[in-house]
Amino acid sequence: MKQEPKNIISRLLMLVLFFCFVTPTSFGQKSELSSDFHKNRRIQLREKLPPNSVAVFFSSPVRNRANDVDYEYHPDPNFNYLTGWNEPHAVLMVYSVPQKDDSGFFSEKLYVRERNPQNEMWNGRQLGVEGAAKMGFDRVVSKERFKKEQQAFDQFDQVLIFDFKNDVRDDPRDNSDLFDLQSHFRTTIGYTSDFNASLYRIYQRIRTATEEEAPYLKRLIRYQASSDSTLLKDPLINDFLNRDPNAQVTDLQTRSAYLVRDYNFDIDQLEQIMASLRERKTPEEIRLLKKAIRISTQGQVEVMKALHPQMTEREVQGIHQLVFKKYGAAHEGYPSIVGAGDNACVLHYITNDKTNIENQLILMDLGAEYNGYTADVTRTIPVSGTFTLEQRALYKIVYDAQTAGIDASLVGATFSDISKATNEVVQKGLLELGIIKSPEEYRRYLPHGISHHIGLDVHDPGLYGALEPDMVITVEPGIYIPEGSPCDSKWWNIGIRIEDDILITKEGPINLSIDAPRAWDAIEEMMRQKSALDDFILPVIANE
Ligand code: GLY
Ligand code: MN
Ligand code: MN
């Protein structure tokens, strides 16, 4: 057990040390999105809410790194999208119908933390209630009020929420931190500690299933039960799975309806509503995405020019990050993937610690995050400056596949149209090179999806229906042949992905990341250029 300091001097010393080391979290980044943008997004959200409902959003938690050091704070993308409020311990409520208080009607209410001079001294300026009040919300109040107001959530037909994640810590010094706000809210809406989202979703499905859908639903539940055996212990699910095939579902439906109606909150609709809002970007968002993408492509260009055989994966990552910050991007939008040779075949490789990359292909999947919006750009280049015959043969397949995928990114097309276009080229190319013997074998070497939305999240939410103007998506085919694969060993340890960010328009796809060369000969040409970093030579630090 840790010993308590005994006297007042040592207590003071502890206090000073505590504040010296605690939480280097940075808050309150200035947003380049206008208050009107966020206001308009809230109006759009309100229009999509079901009758007599309220949508409740919580800011993301402050996450602990170790001991008394926290990770840099990252705002929740939905919260950021709707509010532009980037400080922790906040709640937003958006009502489908206006509410009334002593000052009149309001349709939204933001709860934020008050300014605290002590906290500001260590962690930087906070905006407080006064700052938030200038951002165009109907109501802004102190977060302490969230607990005191005794909101009657049972007056709403539906309370729309994102399901809670088990990742919020209580700060014992603050009795209205995010942990306390969520605990209070959960109690008020009857979200008990044993609430089981999987069960809840299955009850919903049983409640709405027709006789024809019942066999499929049974198979689905049995599949889920293979990884969650508690499902089979539930009496209602058991009844449903084992009931007489000739019996009607009515009785089960009545019972599941009762169980679902026991609470008025909903953990699924909000995800769909936010996806439908966020999948098409406004002009303000497109401007920020273009900036994030152009910054990222400059990172790729600089590495192409500066790369030399003695560099390490980590150094390559560092050049990208230097360029990102030089252009004002706060950081990477996701952990950078910089993998040479065998590491390029590891899809989510983020260790980036290989020191000998000579004569290998290096795959670099990086995105700058600018004002919350992230790019997602991958280039794969030869460390030597010239592709070998094998590297080039595979690179050309991926290049042609990506070209076909970008060409297929048309208004009205689907995401599966894009993958069909890319994957057919990869399939054909691998067959021609004799790397695969049968067409379906190509999946061994291209096991991932081809396209996703980008925005405030690198994998931005969307409904993934037909493509519409103002969506921004990636097209990212690849081929990965790890050592030991069933093909000629000359192909082993080659991993290639080419990923570009595409704006969908009525006039056709626009490649926003075109500034980073993607054709093999254009890459070789760029790699012959001089870099300002060629002269950036640091003294050797010896291991002693
Ligand atoms: N960088 C992650 C992805 O490409 O989806
Ligand atoms: Mn991607
Ligand atoms: Mn990527």
Report the 10 Å Cβ neighbour count for 239.
15
In this prediction the pTM is 0.91
Q: How far apart are CA 358 and CA 124, in angstroms?
A: 44
Atom of ligand 1 nearest to the CA of 366: 1
DSSP codes of every residue in 423-446: HHHHHHHHHHTTS-SSGGGGGGT-
User: Is the C-beta atom of 501 inside 6 A of ligand 1?
Assistant: no
Please give the distance of CA 107 from its chain centroid, rounded to a whole number: 28
pLDDT attached to residue 372? 97
SS3 (DSSP) at 16: helix
- DSSP conformational letter for 72: P
Say whether pLDDT at 323 is over 60. yes
Provide the residues around ligand 2 (an ion) whose CB is within 5 A.
376, 474
452 CA distance to ligand 1 middle (Å): 9
pLDDT attached to residue 64? 94
Atom of ligand 1 nearest to the CA of 448: 5
Q: How far apart are CA 323 and CA 29, in angstroms?
A: 20
Kindly report, residue by residue over 464-489, the tens digit of the pLDDT.
999 999 999 999 999 999 999 999 99
Q: Which of 403-412, 490-499, 532-541 has the lowest mean pLDDT?
A: 532-541
* Protein residue with least CA distance to atom 4, ligand 1: 376
Element (H, E) at 93: strand 91-101
Assign a CATH topology to domain 34-189: Creatine Amidinohydrolase; Chain A, domain 1 (3.40.350)
Encoded tokens for 391: 């590297």
Encoded tokens for 362: 């290096």
457 CA distance to ligand 2 middle (Å): 11
Say whether pLDDT at 517 is over 60. yes
pLDDT attached to residue 23? 34
Element (H, E) at 313: helix 313-326
Domain boundaries, the chain: 34-189, 197-261, 279-527
**Cα→Cα distances 409→271, 311, 451, 470, Å:** 25, 37, 10, 12
pLDDT attached to residue 258? 67
pLDDT attached to residue 25? 39
- The answer to whether the beta carbons of residues 480 and 445 sit under 8 Å apart is yes
Angle separating helix axes 313-326 and 283-306, nearest 10 degrees: 140
User: Which of 296, 451, 499 has most ligand 1 atoms within 8 Å of its beta carbon, as the pocket-test mutant?
Assistant: 499
User: Which of 293, 296, 334 has most ligand 1 atoms within 8 Å of its beta carbon, as the pocket-test mutant?
Assistant: 334
460 CA distance to ligand 2 middle (Å): 10
pLDDT attached to residue 143? 97
User: Is the C-beta atom of 458 inside 6 A of ligand 1?
Assistant: yes
Rg, the chain, Cα only: 27
233 CA distance to ligand 2 middle (Å): 40
394 CA distance to ligand 2 middle (Å): 20
Q: What are phi and psi of 487, to 5 degrees?
A: -155, 175
User: Is the C-beta atom of 499 inside 6 A of ligand 1?
Assistant: yes
User: Which of 293, 379, 446, 458 has most ligand 1 atoms within 8 Å of its beta carbon, as the pocket-test mutant?
Assistant: 458
The average confidence (pLDDT) of the chain is 92
Kindly report, residue by residue over 209-231, the tens digit of the pLDDT.
888 888 899 999 999 999 888 88
Cβ contacts of 99 within 8 Å, gap of 6 or more: 105, 106, 107, 109
Q: How far apart are CA 442 and CA 44, in angstroms?
A: 43
Residues paired with residue 338 on neighbouring β-strands, in sequence order? 364
User: Is the C-beta atom of 349 inside 6 A of ligand 1?
Assistant: no
Kindly report, residue by residue over 280-300, the tens digit of the pLDDT.
999 999 999 999 999 999 999
Burial class (CB in 10 A: 0-12, 13-18, 19+), 78: buried
User: Which of 336, 349, 365 has most ligand 1 atoms within 8 Å of its beta carbon, as the pocket-test mutant?
Assistant: 365
Nearest in space to 30 (alpha carbons), one of 108, 127, 110: 127
Nearest in space to 256 (alpha carbons), one of 242, 238, 229, 272: 238
pLDDT attached to residue 94? 98
pLDDT attached to residue 87? 96
pLDDT attached to residue 230? 86
SS3 (DSSP) at 535: helix
Say whether pLDDT at 246 is over 90. no
Kindly report, residue by residue over 359-398, the tens digit of the pLDDT.
999 999 999 999 999 999 999 999 999 999 999 999 999 9
Q: How far apart are CA 100 and CA 217, in angstroms?
A: 44
What average pLDDT does this structure show over 120-142? 96
Buried b / exposed e along 156-173 (16+ C-beta atoms within 10 A): bebbbbbebeeebeeeee
**Cα→Cα distances 356→172, 205, 536, Å:** 48, 54, 20
pLDDT attached to residue 257? 67
Q: How far apart are CA 360 and CA 386, in angstroms?
A: 10
Q: Which CATH number fits domain 279-527: 1.10.540.10, 3.90.230.10, 3.90.1170.50, 3.40.50.620?
A: 3.90.230.10
Q: How far apart are CA 473 and CA 273, in angstroms?
A: 19
Say whether pLDDT at 134 is over 60. yes
CA 325-330-335 angle, 5° bins? 95
Q: How far apart are CA 179 and CA 184, in angstroms?
A: 9
- The answer to whether the beta carbons of residues 352 and 318 sit under 8 Å apart is no
Percentage of residues in the chain having pLDDT higher than 70: 92
Nearest in space to 509 (alpha carbons), one of 373, 425, 418, 440: 418
Q: How far apart are CA 502 and CA 20, in angstroms?
A: 46
Residues paired with residue 378 on neighbouring β-strands, in sequence order? 365, 499
- The answer to whether the beta carbons of residues 53 and 157 sit under 8 Å apart is yes
User: Is the C-beta atom of 404 inside 6 A of ligand 1?
Assistant: no
User: Is the C-beta atom of 365 inside 6 A of ligand 1?
Assistant: yes
* Protein residue with least CA distance to atom 3, ligand 1: 376
Say whether pLDDT at 253 is over 50. yes
pLDDT attached to residue 238? 87
CATH fold match for the domains 34-189 and 279-527: no
Q: How far apart are CA 5 and CA 511, in angstroms?
A: 62
